[in-house]
């Protein structure tokens, strides 16, 4: 005779086996999904970290100044008329060196690309790409301003720029790479043939 309790027990044992198999499949699926998710997160994180590093290094290279003025900035009235204007090539004179850890900078007025560009801004005008000459005080014979070298730069004041007493002006020195050096000065209350603009 058929006993229901024995049949139920057999059926119940078969269900336990199926439930264990389903649980194992679900567990394996969770492990695989978690592994894929972890791989995606790690890959994205490493990619983001690398891009962040590149951005920071590019920003530091752009922002860090390669140049610095060594000593004072002098203004000389070449024609000795007591007026700093464009009637004669009145000049700025200053010494230029590289900042600590700065890269070499090409300082060659004869070259038109990838060299130092000097602009002037005063209250009335802005003139770009000023004419300048270089006197190598310390260093080798090439036109690269390198660590430990010192160049004397003489910049001609261009037509259209008249510097009066107590007037503020800015010289912009823009190298081929690195930050721009701004030399901001104020004219003294009395103009003479040779002035030290501290």
Write the pLDDT tens digit of every residue in 114-162.
788 999 998 888 888 999 999 999 988 888 888 889 999 999 988 778 8
Q: In the chain, how many domains are there? A: 2
Q: Are residues 94 and 59 in the same domain?
A: no
Do residues 32 and 121 share a domain?
no
Q: Give me the CATH number covering residue 73.
A: 2.60.40.10
Q: Which long-range contacts (CB under 8 A, 24 or more apart) does 111-119 make?
A: 111/143, 114/176, 115/176, 116/67, 116/173, 116/174, 116/175, 116/176, 117/173, 117/174, 118/153, 118/155, 118/171, 118/172, 118/173, 118/174, 119/171, 119/172, 119/174
- How much is the pLDDT for 42? 83
Contact between residue 79 and residue 90 where contact means Cβ atoms under 8 Å apart:
yes
Which pLDDT tens digit goes with each residue over 66-123? Answer: 788 999 999 888 775 666 665 555 899 999 998 877 778 888 888 888 788 999 998 8
**Could you tell me if 51 and 122 lie in one domain?**
no
47, 63, 79 - which closes a domain: 63
Which neighbouring-strand residues pair with 154?
A: 93, 133
Predicted structure pTM score: 0.64
Q: Are residues 103 and 36 in the same domain?
A: no
150-156 and 91-98 beta bridge pairing: antiparallel
d(CA 161, CA 127): 8
Same domain, 106 and 152: yes
Please indicate, yes or no, whether residues 59 and 71 belong to a single structural domain of this protein.
no
Task: Give residue 190's domain range.
Answer: 67-197
Last residue of a domain, one of 63, 82, 104: 63
Q: How far apart are CA 180 and CA 117, in angstroms?
A: 10
Residues 173 and 132 in one domain: yes
Look at residues 46, 63, 80 and tell me which one is the last residue of a structural domain. Answer: 63
Residues 128 and 118: their CA atoms lie apart, in Å, by 7
One domain for residues 59 and 73: no
């Amino acid at each position: 005779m058929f006993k229901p309790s024995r049949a139920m027990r057999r059926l119940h044992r078969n269900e336990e086996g199926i439930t264990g198999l389903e649980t194992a499949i679900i567990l394996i699926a969770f492990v695989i999904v978690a592994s894929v998710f972890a791989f995606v997160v790690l890959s994205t994180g490493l990619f983001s970290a690398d891009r962040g590093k590149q951005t920071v290094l590019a920003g530091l290279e752009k922002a860090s100044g390669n140049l610095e003025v060594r000593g004072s900035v002098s203004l000389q009235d070449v024609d000795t008329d007591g007026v700093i204007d464009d009637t004669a090539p009145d000049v700025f004179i200053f010494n230029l060196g590289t900042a600590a850890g700065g890269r070499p900078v090409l300082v060659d007025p004869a070259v038109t690309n990838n060299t130092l560009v000097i602009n002037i801004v005063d209250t009335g005008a802005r003139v770009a790409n000023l004419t300048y000459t270089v006197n190598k005080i310390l260093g080798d014979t090439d036109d690269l301003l390198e660590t430990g070298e010192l160049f004397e730069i003489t910049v001609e004041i261009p037509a259209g720029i008249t510097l009066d007493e107590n007037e503020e002006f800015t010289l912009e020195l823009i190298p081929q790479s690195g930050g721009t050096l701004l030399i901001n000065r104020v004219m003294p209350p009395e103009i003479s043939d040779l002035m030290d603009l501290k």
